[in-house]
Amino acid sequence: MSANAARRLSRMFHRISVAISAEKDHLSDLDGAIGDADHGITMALGFQAVNGELAKRDLDEILPSEVFSVAASAFLDAVGASTGPLYATAFRKAAQALKQDEALSAAGQAVIVEAMTSGIRERGKGQRGDKTMLDAWIPATEAAAAARDRQASVSAMWAEIVDAADAGARSTRSMVATRGRAARLGERSLGHIDPGAASAVLIIKAMRDTFTENEPAE
């Protein structure tokens, strides 16, 4: 079970990397409006590094929690900008949480989302409304917790997680940035979707595609 789960997480990181690379220019364009225009590049580099490290591991011999630990170190080594420590902490939190349930049950999948959000909040000291990736991750976590509490199917849970994250990311268009480089722009940051929130949606969609494989459609 754990070997299958480790391979599943490896596929997840591969999907994330493909999705981010495909949207790399768009993410950097979003960042160009309110930041340094490099978000797509740095995110793509980070997930390419994760996949490079996972390719060196025997996925039949490591636990799912170790996959997240490898991802944390690889991402941080590749991405020195602020996004690096944020996602590295997210992956470390997910690794810690998975040690309680290495089987990637529906509840375990919800815990991964919650743990990643907790790591980002802890490292970045941010909150909803700051116009950051947390505007996608926090609603995603709330949707995951609600779905888990009512024992929703995996497919239903991930549909709700993605919808919440996507709505959260789109809501950043009407926000004034209060954290990060975009905060320097003040009111000029209005009208632009936060690139970190946009990339968070891509990550969450790739997670959905992985975890809903072979699940019955709702």
The rounded distance, in Å, linking the Cα atoms of 163 and 143 is: 9
Could you list the mean pLDDT of each consecutive 10-residue stretch along the chain, which spans 218 residues? 80 98 94 80 97 96 96 95 93 96 92 98 89 96 97 97 97 73 52 89 98 75
What angle (nearest 5°) sits at the alpha carbon of residue 202, between those of residues 200 and 206?
115
Task: Specify whether the CB–CB gap between 59 and 7 falls below 8 A.
Answer: yes
Measured in degrees and rounded to the nearest 5, phi and psi for residue 152 equal -70, 160
Q: Which two tokens stand for residue 137?
A: 């991750």
What would the two tokens of residue 29 be? 């364009």
The pTM score is 0.93
DSSP class of residue 37 equals: S
The pair of three-digit structure tokens given for residue 101, joined into one six-digit string = 């349930």
Instruction: Name every residue whose Cβ is closer than 8 Å to that of residue 182 and which is 6 or more positions away in sequence.
Output: 34, 35, 131, 189, 194
Q: How far is CA 72 from CA 59, 76, 87, 215, 218, in A?
A: 16, 6, 7, 28, 33
pLDDT at position 192 is 77
Residue type for position 99: K
Predicted confidence at residue 217, as pLDDT, reads 56
What is the predicted pLDDT for the residue at 1?
A: 39
Query: pLDDT for 53-83, tens place per residue?
Result: 999 999 999 999 999 999 999 999 999 778 9
pLDDT of residue 183: 54
